[in-house]
């Protein structure tokens, strides 16, 4: 009898920001597919005096319900000191495993919606996972340039928390412009972001009585929810107590049971990404 296990998945939005307003976005997205299928470069970094290496397994192209996806694994290794026992000398011996497998995450990339579904594990921050995947795409692909990956948020929970404030005093956004034709909903805000000519913009609103509904703050919030940035909110509750919270605390996670088999893992992740409606639909 096959065993089952719990798996948690997050959905993130991939945005090409180097030549965002050019007409080469479809070609650049196809280049991402190419580099995921045949990755050749790895990404090394040091954190707290410890060396790590990020890499990608060769991606596989699969069709599911008539739609094409890229399936693969995001891998992190490190140099790990392992204690061994030498019976002859009756001593403990330290040896180094240079490519100790620390983390391996399954992912599914949907080029059509520009969404990535990542397997989530608590021993790795979502920020570092998204950063590593973006970096590996950039160093393995030709002409991709800068790209950013932000996780989608739990829209109902985030908006409910915002509306629980008696008054909003300040909102600080970190936003990236949408890829062309991604969603007409963000057209007004994207036009303003385009004028800055920045790959990523920080926008802050402050005042005594900021409004959420039917304002650029609402539009920016939905942009964050769709996976195109982050936001920090500040205000006061009904008892006039100061409150603050970040959109990073509202990342959408889906947990389900899967059979402990590779194919079942990918199918479950694909079904998750298909079930998540997008703002441009």
Radius of gyration of the chain (CA): 21
Q: How far apart are CA 138 and CA 64, in angstroms?
A: 27
Q: How far apart are CA 276 and CA 265, in angstroms?
A: 17
pTM: 0.85
Tokens of 38: 């045949």
User: Which residue from 119, 125, 139, 152 is spatially nearest to 227, judged by alpha carbons?
Assistant: 152
Per-residue pLDDT for 42 more than 70?
yes
pLDDT reported for residue 279: 43
pLDDT reported for residue 2: 62
In this prediction, what percent of the chain has a pLDDT beyond 70?
90
Per-residue pLDDT for 18 more than 70?
no
Average pLDDT, the chain: 86
pLDDT reported for residue 239: 92
pLDDT reported for residue 281: 45
DSSP code per residue over 202-257: EEEEEEEEE--TTSHHHHHHHHHHTTSEEEEEEEE-TT--EEEEEGGGGB-EEEEE
Mean pLDDT along residues 171-193 = 78
pLDDT reported for residue 20: 54
Measured over the CA atoms of residue 72, residue 74, residue 80 and residue 82, the dihedral's sign is negative
pLDDT reported for residue 120: 94
Mean pLDDT along residues 85-114 = 84
Residue 200 contacts by C-beta under 8 Å, 6 or more apart in sequence? Answer: 17, 148, 174, 175, 176
Residue 135 CB-density burial (10 A; 0-12 exposed, 13-18 middle, 19+ buried): middle
Comparing 139-148, 163-172, 179-188, which segment has the lowest mean pLDDT?
179-188
Tokens of 217: 């703050």
pLDDT reported for residue 218: 92
| Residue 22: pLDDT band with limits 50, 70, 90 | low
Mean pLDDT along residues 104-121 = 94
| Dmax (CA) of the chain | 76
Tokens of 111: 């080029």
Mean pLDDT along residues 198-223 = 86
pLDDT reported for residue 152: 95
Per-residue pLDDT for 199 more than 80?
no
Comparing 3-7, 70-74, 190-194, 232-236, which segment has the lowest mean pLDDT?
190-194
| Residue 156: pLDDT band with limits 50, 70, 90 | very high
């Amino acid at each position: 009898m096959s065993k089952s296990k719990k798996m948690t998945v997050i959905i993130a939005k991939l945005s090409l920001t180097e030549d965002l307003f050019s007409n080469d976005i479809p070609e650049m997205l196809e280049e991402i597919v190419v580099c995921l299928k045949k990755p050749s470069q790895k990404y090394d970094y040091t954190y707290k005096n410890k060396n790590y290496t990020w890499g990608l397994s060769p991606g596989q192209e699969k069709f599911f319900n008539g739609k094409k996806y890229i399936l693969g694994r995001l891998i992190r290794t490190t140099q790990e000191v392992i204690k061994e026992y030498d019976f002859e000398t009756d001593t403990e011996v330290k040896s180094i495993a240079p490519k100790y497998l620390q983390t391996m995450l399954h992912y599914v990339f949907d080029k059509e919606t520009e969404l990535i579904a990542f397997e989530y594990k608590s021993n790795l921050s979502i920020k570092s996972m998204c950063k590593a995947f973006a970096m590996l795409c950039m160093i393995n692909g030709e002409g991709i340039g800068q790209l950013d990956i932000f996780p989608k948020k739990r829209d109902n929970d985030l908006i409910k928390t915002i509306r629980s404030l008696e008054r909003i005093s300040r909102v600080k956004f970190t936003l990236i412009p949408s890829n062309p034709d991604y969603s007409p909903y963000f057209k007004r805000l994207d036009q303003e972001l385009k004028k800055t000519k920045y790959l990523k913009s920080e926008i802050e609103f402050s005042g005594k009585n900021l409004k959420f509904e039917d304002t650029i703050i609402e539009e920016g919030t939905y942009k964050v929810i769709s996976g195109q940035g982050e936001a920090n909110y500040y205000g006061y509750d009904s008892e006039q107590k100061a409150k603050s919270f970040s959109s990073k605390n509202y990342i959408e996670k889906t947990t389900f049971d899967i059979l402990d088999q590779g194919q079942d893992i990918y199918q479950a992740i694909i079904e998750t990404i298909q079930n998540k409606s997008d703002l441009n639909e």
